[in-house]
A = this chain, B = another copy of it.
Amino acid sequence: MKELKEKILKEGKNLGGGILMVNTFLNHQIDSHLMVIVGREIADRFWHYHPTKVLTAEISGIAPAVQAGVFLDAPVVFARRVKSITMPDEIYIRTVPSHTKGGTADLIVAADMISPQDRVLIVDDFLATGKTIEALASIVEEAGAELVGIGAVIEKSFEGGRERLTPLGVPIEALAIVEKMEGDQIVLR
* Chain A residues with a Cβ under 8 A of chain B: 15, 19, 21-23, 25, 27-33, 35-36, 54, 58-59, 62-63, 66-67, 69-70, 72-78, 80, 82, 84-87, 100-102, 109-110, 113
Please tell me if the beta carbons of B113 and A70 are within 8 angstroms of each other in the complex: no
16 CB contacts below 8 A, A to B, read A15-B86, A19-B86, A21-B86, A28-B110, A28-B113, A29-B75, A30-B66, A32-B72, A33-B73, A35-B66, A36-B70, A58-B58, A66-B67, A85-B100, A85-B101, A85-B102
Q: What CA separation (Å) do A31 and B66 show in the bound complex?
A: 9
Please tell me if the beta carbons of B75 and A23 are within 8 angstroms of each other in the complex: no
Please tell me if the beta carbons of B58 and A23 are within 8 angstroms of each other in the complex: no
